[in-house]
Amino acid sequence: MDELHLQHLRRAIGVARRARERGNHPFGAILVDENNVVLLEAENTVNSERDCTGHAETNLIRLAWRQFDPATLRNCTLYTSTEPCAMCAGAIHWGGVGRVVFALSEEGLYAMTGSSHPDNETMRLPCREVFARSGRPVEVIGPLIEEEARLVHEGFWT
């Protein structure tokens, strides 16, 4: 496993921890350029902003589009504490980011929240399936370090 992937995923998990501390769902994402420089980070803001689309990855794509051109984004990697949901995968597709690396899988999250938790009405649709229907390739790596990523969720969904 690439040490840089682990380093960036741990930072994304740290962003998720910060989101939780601010009363939001525990999800975080960072954007890294082709030289492994962290360009941006974003956390979930669903509760604090009262915006159901305020997922970490969607927030990150909004920020990235304001600051970077499409050629730059194609060469970037989005690291996220948890596999992007269908909405976030769509945002990543339209945002033009070339690679996604995630820690905790959607199935791993679902195992923690179940089907009836009102704050995680997941579609149980892996991001790979969303990207497979995309007009351009998005490389996906993950899940990685699921046990570490689970820790930020412990006790949150109960």
Residues annotated as part of the active site: 57
Radius of gyration (C-alpha) of the chain in whole angstroms: 14
Please answer whether residues 20 and 152 qualify as being in contact, where contact means their C-beta atoms are separated by less than 8 angstroms. Answer: yes
Is the Cα torsion angle 108, 32, 56, 140 positive or negative in sign? negative
